[in-house]
Structure 1
Amino acid sequence: MSRRRAAGALLAGALVPGSGHLVVGARSTGAPLTALSAGLLLSAVLLVARLASSPLDAVAFGAATDGLGIAGIAAVAWLLYVAAVTADLVRRLRMRSAAPRRLSLAAVAVLVIPALACGAISASAFTGRGIVSSVFGGDAGLEAHDGRYNILVVGADRAPGRSIVQPDSITVVSVDARTGRTAVIGVDRTTQNFPYPAGSVMAAQFPSGNRCLSGCHLNYTYQYGVEHPDLWPDSPDAGLTALTEAVEGYTGLSMSGHVYVELDAFIRLIDALGGVTVDVQAEVPRIGVPDVGSDELSVAGPPIEPGVQHMDGETALWFARSRYASSNADRMQRQSCIQQALLKQLDPGTALSVFLSLAGTTEGLSTDLSPAGLGTLAALAEGARSQPLDRVELTKPLVQPLQPDLDIVAGAIRSAVHPGSDAAAPAGPADSSPPASGGLGAILAEGAGDEGSASAQPVCSVP
Structure 2
Amino acid sequence: MRHSTATRGLTDPVRYPANAPAQVRTKRAFFLLLLTIFVPGGAQVVAGNRTLGRRALAVTLTCWGLLLAALVVYLVDRSILLSLVARPSVQIVLAVALLVLAVGWLLLFINTLAIIRPKLLAPGARGILVACTVAALIGTSGALGYGSFVVNEGRQTIGDVFATGPAFDPVDGRYNIMVMGGDAGEGRDGLRPDTMMLFSIDADSGKTAVISFPRNFQSAQFAEDSPMRQIYPKGYNCGNECIMNSLYKDVTDNHADLYPESEDPGAEAMMDAAEGITGIKVQSYVLVDMAGFEKLIDAMGGVTVDSGGWVPFRGPERDDTFVRTRWFPPGQLELDGAEALWFARSRYFTTDYHRIRRQQCLQQAMMKQFNPQTVLTRFSAIMSAGEELVDTDIPQDQLSSFLGLADKARQHPFERLTLGAPDFGTSSDRFSTYPDFDQIRARVDELLLTASDEAPEETTAAPETPESPAAEDGDAGGTGDDASEPAAEETTAEAEPSKESESIQGWADSAPTTQPDGSPITEEYLIELEENGREDILSLIADSNAECSA
User: TM-score, normalization: structure 2?
Assistant: 0.67
1:346-368: CA deviation from partner (whole Å, max 9, x where unpaired): 36424644565323223132332
Structure 1 residue 407: Cα displacement = 0.8
Counterpart amino acid of residue 435 in structure 2: P
Counterpart amino acid of residue 68 in structure 1: Q
Within 2, Cα distance between the matches of 1:382 and 1:90?
Answer: 46
Q: From the two aligned structures, give the one with the greater strand fraction.
A: 1
Structure 1 residue 160: Cα displacement = 2.7
Change (3 A) 1:338 1:21: closer
Given that residues 222 and 239 in structure 1 are in contact (C-alpha distance below 8 angstroms), is that contact kept between their aligned partners in structure 2?
Answer: yes
Within 2, Cα distance between the matches of 1:115 and 1:61?
Answer: 25
Structure 1 residue 275: Cα displacement = 1.7
1:394 to 419, 422, 425: 419
2:302 to 274, 283, 287: 274
Q: Which residue of 2 aligns with 1:403?
A: 434
Higher mean C-alpha deviation, range 67-76 or range 33-42 = 33-42
Within 2, Cα distance between the matches of 1:356 and 1:453?
Answer: 49
Counterpart amino acid of residue 39 in structure 1: L
2:243 to 201, 213, 217: 217
Aligned pair 1:246/2:333, yes or no?
no
Aligned pair 1:462/2:549, yes or no?
yes
Give SS of 2:275's match.
helix
Which structure has the larger Rg? 2
Structure 1 residue 417: Cα displacement = 0.8
Structure 1 residue 119: Cα displacement = 1.5
Given that residues 164 and 395 in structure 2 are in contact (C-alpha distance below 8 angstroms), is that contact kept between their aligned partners in structure 1?
Answer: yes
Within 2, Cα distance between the matches of 1:19 and 1:358?
Answer: 38
Change (3 A) 1:301 1:23: farther
1:34-433 superposed matches below 5 A: 34-46=56-68, 49-50=71-72, 53=75, 55-83=78-106, 114-227=140-253, 228-271=255-298, 272-281=300-309, 283-287=310-314, 301-343=325-367, 345-346=368-369, 348-350=371-373, 352-353=375-376, 356-362=380-386, 363-396=388-421, 398=424, 400-419=431-450
User: TM-score, normalization: structure 1?
Assistant: 0.78
Give SS of 1:361's match.
helix
Within 2, Cα distance between the matches of 1:410 and 1:128?
Answer: 40
Given that residues 392 and 416 in structure 1 are in contact (C-alpha distance below 8 angstroms), is that contact kept between their aligned partners in structure 2?
Answer: yes
Given that residues 327 and 453 in structure 1 are in contact (C-alpha distance below 8 angstroms), is that contact kept between their aligned partners in structure 2?
Answer: no
RMSD, aligned CA: 3.7
Within 2, Cα distance between the matches of 1:352 and 1:98?
Answer: 46
Within 1, Cα distance between the matches of 2:99 and 2:196?
Answer: 44
Within 1, Cα distance between the matches of 2:346 and 2:110?
Answer: 64
Counterpart amino acid of residue 433 in structure 2: L
1:351-404: CA deviation from partner (whole Å, max 9, x where unpaired): 644565323223132332234334433444444444453211101351622221
Structure 1 residue 423: Cα displacement = 12
Structure 1 residue 326: Cα displacement = 2.0
Given that residues 20 and 30 in structure 1 are in contact (C-alpha distance below 8 angstroms), is that contact kept between their aligned partners in structure 2?
Answer: no
Structure 1 residue 337: Cα displacement = 2.6
Within 1, Cα distance between the matches of 2:31 and 2:214?
Answer: 69
Q: Which residue of 2 aligns with 1:32?
A: 54
Q: Which residue of 1 aligns with 2:464?
A: none
Structure 1 residue 112: Cα displacement = 5.2
Q: Which residue of 2 aligns with 1:23?
A: 46
Structure 1, unmatched stretches of 5+, are 289-297, 425-447
Within 2, Cα distance between the matches of 1:140 and 1:114?
Answer: 38
Identity fraction in percent: 28
Structure 1 residue 460: Cα displacement = 1.5
1:440-459: CA deviation from partner (whole Å, max 9, x where unpaired): xxxxxxxx833446897653
Within 2, Cα distance between the matches of 1:378 and 1:148?
Answer: 15
Counterpart amino acid of residue 144 in structure 1: P
Give SS of 1:152's match.
strand
Structure 1 residue 413: Cα displacement = 0.8
Change (3 A) 1:355 1:412: farther
Structure 1 residue 154: Cα displacement = 0.9
1:22-69: CA deviation from partner (whole Å, max 9, x where unpaired): 233543x24532442332332343255347645424432442222222
Give SS of 1:233's match.
coil
Within 2, Cα distance between the matches of 1:112 and 1:339?
Answer: 38
Q: What is the number of residues matched between the two proteins?
A: 424
Given that residues 270 and 276 in structure 1 are in contact (C-alpha distance below 8 angstroms), is that contact kept between their aligned partners in structure 2?
Answer: no
Within 1, Cα distance between the matches of 2:496 and 2:380?
Answer: 41
